[in-house]
Structure formats: C-alpha cells, structure tokens
Amino acid sequence: MPIRTARFHIGQIVRHRVYEFRGVVYDVDPTFSNSEEWWQSIPEDMRPSKDQPFYHLLAENENGPYMAYVSEQNLQEDESGDPVDHPDVEVYFATLEDDYYVPLPRVLN
C-alpha cells in the first residue's frame, strides 16, 4: 500500500470539516494506527479509509480541551489566527509564530 505525504504538519492549527472543533497537530501517523474497536465505533457511513494520514491533535471545542485522532480527509487548515487553548500545548511547543506552533527540541536516546 503506498503511503501518501501528510498534508498537515506538526505545529499546524487545523479544524474538523464536519464537527465544531479545532486543534494543533502534535503527531502524525502515515496510515491508521489506532484500535480496530475505535475505528468500528465510527458510524459506517462516516468511517474514513485507513490508508491515509491520521493526526493526533491537542483539540478544543465549546466543552473544553481534549485529545483527538482525525483522518486527513476530515481536516482543513484553520485560518482564524487564534491560538489553541489546550493545557498541553506547552508540553509539545515552545511558542506560536506566524500561525504555527514551534515544537520544543527533544532529546533522543
């Protein structure tokens, strides 16, 4: 199965195409990498294909912050210019510059 290049990048602010939430990308899977149970819990008529990038988001909606896992087909760039109000933003990112979050440097073993 060919792997596509991810359309969105770590630090990019995105919003869901259907549901009213937005977030910042903090990780990307080249293809679906969650549980089968999670995938089956999505209504069949809305279930995305597994062979596309999936994004881990520090998300927010009117109920507050949470973590989300979203297929590429369901995301679009957020053009509001507003920061993401999630308490874990400072765990992953140093600052917000030009509508992108700059990742913190990580020490690799």
pLDDT score for 4 = 73
pLDDT score for 5 = 86
pLDDT score for 56 = 98
Low-confidence residues in the chain, pLDDT < 70: 1-3, 107-109
- Supply 6's token pair: 């991810």
Q: Which of 62, 57, 63, 55 is nearest to 88 (CA)?
A: 57
pLDDT score for 70 = 97
| pTM as predicted | 0.91
